Structure 1
């Protein structure tokens, strides 16, 4: 039996990731955020999409969904540790948390 370290996600955290990724829209957003300058309008960004993240309004516009729905989707990804949120003025920007994603991939490899 292995002992969980502080940096390794536990089973509940892995389940949160699976739940977040089970929704095809959330999975698509996470894929888009891998290459934000390719998928979102850089010329309209108020912050660097690579360094700070993509404004939720741009994610909403691309998805064509209600702001409340997109915010709920992003909150789910954030709770799962897949993205980080940063406020820039009144806007929330989202960026993938690559270190946490790598931890989850490694943990999944050990769990299966």
Structure 2
């Protein structure tokens, strides 16, 4: 776990919003586009996040890439779609780190 990369990823309001939405995706998004995919298992499609963020697709992809590289998101590719969900294990470790070290 690279705490510096994680904190950099968390230093943007839109990226924080993505993590908040993905905490309870059923409240903010519709079912995934790929057949058989679920919000709970695969996560939310990039296109849905792009629309909800109200930013360009390029900007949304940059946000998601940064969160993914920091380990905060997991990505699943199904056909032509990529889905993202929170990496709850890493998010828990961040909370533990902050409470113990800072």
Which of 88, 93, 101 is residue 98 of structure 1 equivalent to?
A: 88
CA contact (8 A) 1:26 1:77 kept: yes
Using the TM superposition, name which of 53-62 and 98-107 deviates more: 98-107
CA contact (8 A) 1:85 1:92 kept: yes
Query: Which TM-score applies when normalising by structure 2?
Result: 0.91
Report the count of equivalent residues.
100
Which of 31, 37, 40 is residue 26 of structure 2 equivalent to?
A: 37
Partner of 1:50 in structure 2? Answer: 40
Which segments of structure 1 move beyond 3 Å, counting only runs of 4 or more?
Answer: none
Query: Which TM-score applies when normalising by structure 1?
Result: 0.84
Q: Deviations over 1:8-38 (max 9, x none)?
A: x3xxx11111111110000001100001111
Computing the radius of gyration from Cα coordinates, the structure with the larger value is 1
Secondary structure of 2:75's counterpart equals strand
Alignment of structure 1 residues 12-91 onto 2, 5 Å: 13-42=2-31, 45-46=33-34, 47-91=37-81
In 1, the alpha carbon distance for the partners of 2:57 and 2:12 equals: 17
